[in-house]
Chain A
Amino acid sequence: MDELRRTLSELKHLRRASIEKDMCTHPGVIGGLCIRCGQKVDDQSGVAFGYIHKDLRLGNDEVARIRKRDFKNLLRQKKLYLVLDLDHTLLNSTRLLDITPEEEYLRSQTHALQEPLKGSLFRLDYLHMLTKLRPFVRTFLKEASNLFEMYIYTMGERAYAMEMAKLLDPENVHFNSKVIAQGDCTQRHQKGLDVVLGHESAVLILDDTEPVWVKHKDNLILMERYNFFASSCRQFGFNCKSLSELKSDESEADGALATVLEVLKQIHGMFFDQKLGDNLVDRDVRKVLKTVRMEVLKGCKLVFSRVFPTKFQAEKHQLWKMAEQLGALCTTELDPSVTHVVSTDAGTEKSHWAVREKRFLVHPRWIEAANYLWQKQPEENFPVKQTKSQL
């Protein structure tokens, strides 16, 4: 009887101990060990956060928990999240062997890697590359860091990403544990906010490439591409001389980064506007972005002429959708309320109508410029030429 009682009490102890062990839900695993109870865990579920630690995986509940807590923390500091692309957005890199004869002069103009704060052109021998930082980038990062917690997200490899981070952030103040590279993406050829420890409703993305952000188009601010080197120009099919060959560069005060910084400040200001009354936690930066965008071409009514291929459904065209996102009204037929005719040929009926009725006649690039510069551009800068095939 005694033995039975003793065995029962031992069993109870064991059961309690094993329940305690099992009770841990293993919210995350690092180096094969649970981050909460320290046990060895073989689980490969959840999302890998290799950019924080090479062996870190977090379960979905844990990611949600961290996001929630971090968001509250950020809101107290009046900050949002900003995800930054590298190539053609903050900088431009070229392989040493792709340098053209007219770019040779750059070789002697590179700055020492030990003094990244001093220059904008760097030579990385072990990566066999030259990298040019976009004008205004340092000021941009410094000012943006007061309003946003920033991430780097590139489709380049980790080694490249870390070197670029060192150039942009030599004191490791902005991007500590926040450099996401190609290997961290959960889907091939797609960037995702699933590996960013921030709520989607509070993230803005700056990238020159739209197709990689299919799932998060509403968070994206499309940047005008920075093509400094000749190889970059060629990559995108431009036959003209590059900025490096022309010994020129994007304007620092008027360039893309300066412009987008003002937009970011505006969005940030609107998000944290005290007068709106509702809880900050419930606000969505995507809505604010949409609102700001809709102001750009507000009041414009557009008709397109010789812009879309025949039999193409006009409303589905990228330019139509871009114009609508910018706040313009688009229509297929002329009427007295039309303000602009967007055309590639000044000889069409619609183009003639615009001139006759003293409405604006603009090239489609007028819409693209508004998209990149966040402001309606003077219509006279986008004239339309008459094409030669006129009868």
Chain B
Amino acid sequence: MQFHLRHFDRDLCDKLVAKLMKDVEGTCSGRHGFVVAITGVEHVGKGLIRDGTGFVTFPVKYQCVVFRPFKGEILEAVVTMVNKMGFFAEAGPVQIFVSNHLIPDDMEFQSGDMPNYTTSDGSVKIQKDSEVRLKIIGTRVDATEIFCIGTIKDDFLGVISDPGATF
């Protein structure tokens, strides 16, 4: 962690933790996935002054909650957009695309002001804000986001709750 000398005062420790949270929370790495929240700082090492700049580098050991979807994992996600190619859903910071190849064949795309995929008898509907259970079949992680391809074509996958349903 890089820190400028001007911040060195009695609140240094708190500032370090605050900056750590600001810099690291919300980032991604291929190895660990998405850093959701820092839960604790274990150890702050000795600061090393960098020649020629006013910056000091501190090695910080910390614990955090990470989120990383795996191929084959079953997740619950909320649908954010539906179009004729398929639908996009979000599970926390992860965006998942389910193409119409991986949506059951008996579900047809209906365009309109609330585009959706519906079964022929109208019993099951996937639209914006629906909750779905899907399986991840491919992932890609880069510095700021995790993108996945998902499927709902297997058993027990599909809509969990219909936002328009009344009980």
Contacts and interface: CB of A to CB of B under 8 A. Distances in A.
B101 A35 contact: yes
A52 B83 CA distance: 9
A31 B81 contact: no
Secondary structure of the A contact surface, majority rule: loop
A34 B102 CA distance: 12
B34 interface: no
A31 B137 contact: no
Nearest to A27: B101
Contacts, number: 69
Interface residues of A, number: 27
Contacts of A27: 101
A36 B88 CA distance: 14
Interface in A316-340: none
Contacts of A171: 113
Could you tell me the dominant secondary structure of chain B's interface residues? strand
A40 B139 CA distance: 8
Contact of B71 (A38, A53, A176): A38
A66 interface: yes
Contacts of B83: 52, 176-177
B115 A176 contact: yes
B81 A39 contact: no
Interface in A68-94: 70, 73-74, 77
Interface of B: 71, 81, 83-86, 88, 97, 99-102, 108-113, 115, 136-140, 147-149, 151
Contacts of B102: 35-36
A35 B88 CA distance: 12
A32 interface: yes
B149 A35 contact: yes
B147 A31 contact: yes
Nearest to B147: A31
Nearest to B137: A38
A280 interface: no
A176 B85 CA distance: 12
A252 to B, nearest CB: 25
Give the interface centre of B81, B83, B101 by most chain A CB atoms within 10 Å. Answer: B101
A37 interface: yes
Nearest to A72: B108
Contact of A40 (B100, B140, B151): B140
A193 interface: no
Contacts of B111: 73-74, 77, 149
A33 interface: yes
A32 B140 contact: yes
